[in-house]
Each structure stands twice: as structure tokens, then as C-alpha cells.
Structure 1
Amino acid sequence: MASRALARRPLSITRGLVAARSLHATTPSLNDKPKPAPTTTTSSSSSSTTAAAAEGDKVPSQGFLGSLFYGSEHARAEGDIKLLEKKQHSKTVGRGKYVHEKITHAVIPGHRDAYLEAAEAYFTTLAKESYNLGNVKLCGSWETIVGAVGNFTHILEHEGYKGYDETRVLVAKNQTLQKHLNNMLPHLQTRQHQLMSEFVFLPMSPPRDSGYPDGGVFELRTYQLQPGKLLEWESAWRRGVEARLRFVQPVGGFFGQVGQLHEVHHIWQYPDMATRQAARGKAWTIGGWADTVQQTSRLTQTMKTTIMLPTSWSPLR
């Protein structure tokens, strides 16, 4: 049986993490709503000319893409793959406002406690000094208990690629952070970084305390897609994800942009594994979910699921 032991107690600054990370808006502005087509009151002899002029004045990108970026009903109705394929992948399916950095540390067996001490110092300092480090935010930190046991996953949020560049330079110059990083490195077998974009229909959750015992369990699902199939996968998932949202708290959905490409991740939170199993069963009772699974399975090369526990300093728990 997997251990449910939590990470060490956080530093005194940990409790300020939730306040430190600003919430990002996910609701559309009024300007993003598609405008209704103009009506005419002219006589029948001139109505065709007026209608043609009205059609000529329409700008499809305002109505379609403006709604698509916020996952509206209008966008779902017009989300034809043939139209989507004409657009750049990342701009069509991605929210675009933030860049998320997924950091994976594989810890040497027997070094867990020493790693946790150094990692806690590093990531809590990063969160505390966010304003001076390009406004980077720590979204969450987790320890794998099913899957690659001994792995730790950390997700950072950057204000676009410009923010990522700024943070990278400032972190390298910060002596305190470099000291904590150097304390972590001897305990690692490998480390991997991937830059990701959020899906518009499943943006990253702001910090929260679920109230679940010990923060509950988090499921990280990873899909390696066939090259060129991201748009089709996104369209099918966007239509079917409502079935899952009825029974489980979403954390976020992402696709890789730098590092491993054609890779999709989504994260869900449950109070425990029994609830997870029940929620997955209930999703199959909702119309459309079976079709979503069938459509996305044929676009996928490999898939895996990882069960994680939040560390004591994680803003998401």
C-alpha cells in the first residue's frame, strides 16, 4: 500500500503563498461576445443589396475566435476542425496569457527527506520573492505515490515567454535561490523541464485549500498524441469534458510547447482514491463521454496516469 505520509512541515512563510499568487481572470469581457447580424427595414427591391453589404462588413475572426478563446457556446457550435486547422495550433487551442513550466525531479532512493528540506526552501523562497523575480508564481508541488515513485512535480506560472525569460535571468542572479538549488541537486537522479500552454476550456486553478484530508489526491493524466492531431484532440475533449466536471474538481489542462511536443496533460483532484473510482464511473452515464473517449483514443500513441500527493507547502491542496 502506498504511503500517505506528507512532506515536512512548511517554513513559516508558507502560509503566505495563497495570498502571494494573484488570481487570473478566465471570464470573457463584453467585447468578446459575437455581435448579432444587422437587420434591415428597406423595401424588397433594395433588401438584397443591403444584406450583401452587411455580409461584407462581418469580420469572422471577431465572432469566432473571440468566443473560442473563452470556450463559449457559440464557439462550441462553430468549432469545426476544418476551420480550426487554418489557425496556428497554439493560438487556436491555448489561452495564451501564461506559460506554465512543469518541473519533474527524480529523487535518489533514500534521499527523500533531504530533498524535501532543500526543495521546500527553494520553492517557498521563490514564491515569497515572486515580485522581484518577474512575477513567477508557484502553482503547486506534488509527490508521486503511484507511477514513477520518487518523482516530484512542480508547476510554475510565468507571465508569457517574456516573463519566463525575465525570471530565468533573475533566478540565476539570486544567491539565496542558487544556494537552495545547489542543496537540491545532490539528491536528484534526473530533472526535466517542459514549457506548456493552458487549454482555453481547462485553465490552471488559482491557489486553494480543498479541505480534503491531507489535501486529497491529485491525478496527472498524460497523453502522447500522434503528431498533427492536437486540434482534433482538443475539439473532442472540449465537447466531452462537461461530463467529468460534474463529478470532479479540475486543476488544469495543458499541452507541451517546448520540450516534449505533442504531449497533453490534465490534472484532477479528489478527496481519495475511492471517490476517484466512483467519479470516473459516473462520467460514463453522461451522454457524449463515451464518444469523447472513442475519438481521443484513436489520436493517442501512449497514455499514463500518475497519482500524486501535495507537499505541505503546495498552494494547491
Structure 2
Amino acid sequence: MLKLRNLLAVGKGNNNAVRSLSTTPSCNDSESWFSKLLVRKIEPTKESHSRMLSDKEIIYALHTHNVRPDSMGSYLNNYKNTVALINEKKANLSTELVASWTVQVGDMDQCLHLWKYTGGFEKIDQAKDDLWNDPEYLSLMQERSKFLRSRHLQYLLAFSYWPQIASRTGKNIYEMRSYRLTPGTMIEWGNNWARAINYRQHNNEAFAGFFSQIGRLYNVHHIWCYKSLQDRKETREAAWRSPGWDECVAYTVPLIRDMHCRVLAPTEFSPSQ
């Protein structure tokens, strides 16, 4: 790693050298140790990285709400009514709720709501104009503000190599693993995870994979679905026993600046249970 840093420092004066260096190897490269650090050359392109990795016609909005500890019941009832109102106007809004969760392990007194917009940012603009001129919606928003400590919104794109999002039934828990990547490494992340995801589809645990488009940038969210914490433990241990999984994971570690996970439980009004 020290040698790589020195090479990168030397290459700062040479733009071509910097562009051709990457920090992650492909999983199946069997050449020298240094060649394993070269996944691909990131050349100048007329196409954005987000276009390479995803379909920009479908945008996901992740709403993170930090709720007052004494107001969770009132907050959930308010949001349930908000979802019902939006569902009534669904034909005009081109949006739908994918899932809603409360955090069980991690950032407590927190709720996450994942919405899907079909038709790109144009539909988000239209939905915002429609809702912000609806007195009932504004009334629910004003009421909800009494129950909140803070909130955050991210617009996300789904990685094209992840399985299509499908609602789950029965009793499940979800794990959201969130990563903050070093700027400039999203292509390399996708290059490795396009292989790694193949090791995690046997039990249908892969729910969704996103990267941020607006909001906190270079954020990645992987969402997994399990029957229980014990099922999570057994599934993850099985993945580590699969030849190749450990290499794919190890190669993404240098790309991560920080990470955290949250265990989530679906709300009663969540379409995915």
C-alpha cells in the first residue's frame, strides 16, 4: 500500500498516469500483485458514471426521519395517512412506496422510507408541484414536523447488476449496509460488486443496491433481507465459505472511507414485509 501511495504521488504531475491508475483489482486476475491493483483504465468519457451503472429513468428517494422518542406512534400513524393520500393520487404522481422501515439496531428512533419515481427527475418535479399545492398533504407535513428531530433526503439510482427489486412477504428483517466511498471509485466498486453479487443470490437475500445521485454523494446502500438475525448470521457465513467471495470483498475495502449498518423492521404499511 505504501508503494502504491508513492506511485500515485509521483503520478500527480502526469494526468495520463493518474487516470490509468485504480485502487482495486478484478476478482479473477492472476497476474502479479501490482497488476491486481489495476481493475480497468478510467478514461475520459462523454458518458456519466451513473449512466454506465444504472437506468436514470427510475429514481429512488430515500427519506430518513429521526423521530422524537416519545412520538414514534403518532409519527407512524401520520406517515401511514400520508402514504394513503399519495396512493389516492398515484395515477397523477408516477410514484409508489417501495418499503418503509423502523431501525431496530443502529440509529434508534429512526425511520426510512423508500419511494420509486418512474420517468426520471421530471416526474419528481411534477409530484412535488402537485403535493405542495395539496392542503391535506401540507397539513400532514405540518403535523409530522412536531414528531421529528431531523430528516434527510437522498435521490438514488439502482445498480443495474443487482436483481430487480421485488416485494417480500411473511416475517422478515432487513439490513442496510451503507458505505461512503472515496470520490472517483464508483466504477471500480461496481466492477467488483457485479461479480460479488453472484455469491449472494442463492437465498434471495439481495433486496436492493443503490448509489446516491443527489444528497450525500459517493454513498452506496446495499439492502439485504433475512428471516431473522440467526438467518443473517448463517447466510453471511455461507457466503464467506464460497471461493472468490473473500477476494471480491477484500478488493473493495480500499475504496471505503467509512461504513455502517442498520437492522430494519418493516412498518405495517410497508409494501415489502
The one-letter amino acid paired with 2:194 is: R
Superposition pairs for residues 149-160 of structure 1, below 5 Å? 149-159=108-118, 160=120
Superposition pairs for residues 168-183 of structure 1, below 5 Å? 168-183=128-143
How far does residue 83 in structure 1 lie from its aligned partner after superposition?
6.4
1:211: which partner in 2?
170
The answer as to 2:97 corresponding to 1:138 is yes
The answer as to 2:67 corresponding to 1:107 is yes
Q: TM-score, normalised on structure 1?
A: 0.71
2:244: which partner in 1?
288
- Report the 3-state secondary structure (helix = DSSP H, G, I; strand = E; otherwise coil) of the residue aligned with 2:175: strand
How far does residue 127 in structure 1 lie from its aligned partner after superposition?
2.4
How far does residue 247 in structure 1 lie from its aligned partner after superposition?
2.9
5+ unaligned residues in a row in structure 1: which ranges? 1-79
2:89: which partner in 1?
129
* Structure with greater proportional strand content: 2
Distance 1:288 1:85 in 2: 31
- Report the 3-state secondary structure (helix = DSSP H, G, I; strand = E; otherwise coil) of the residue aligned with 2:82: helix
Contact 1:94 1:199 in 2 (8 A): yes
Superposition pairs for residues 200-279 of structure 1, below 5 Å? 200-202=160-162, 205-206=165-166, 208-212=167-171, 216-279=172-235
Distance 1:166 1:286 in 2: 46
How far does residue 135 in structure 1 lie from its aligned partner after superposition?
1.1
The one-letter amino acid paired with 1:287 is: P
Instruction: Give the superposed CA RMSD.
Output: 1.5
2:13: which partner in 1?
none
Distance 1:130 1:203 in 2: 25
How far does residue 116 in structure 1 lie from its aligned partner after superposition?
1.1
- Report the 3-state secondary structure (helix = DSSP H, G, I; strand = E; otherwise coil) of the residue aligned with 2:41: helix
Quick check: 120-129 or 99-108, which moved more?
Answer: 120-129
Contact 1:101 1:157 in 2 (8 A): yes
Equivalent residue in structure 1 for 2:256, among 297, 300, 308: 300
5+ unaligned residues in a row in structure 2: which ranges? 1-38
How far does residue 244 in structure 1 lie from its aligned partner after superposition?
1.0
How far does residue 241 in structure 1 lie from its aligned partner after superposition?
0.8
Count of aligned pairs? 233
Larger Cα Rg: Structure 1 or Structure 2? Answer: 1
- Partner deviation per Cα, 1:167-191 (whole Å, 9 max, x = no partner): 1111101122112111111000001
Q: TM-score, normalised on structure 2?
A: 0.82
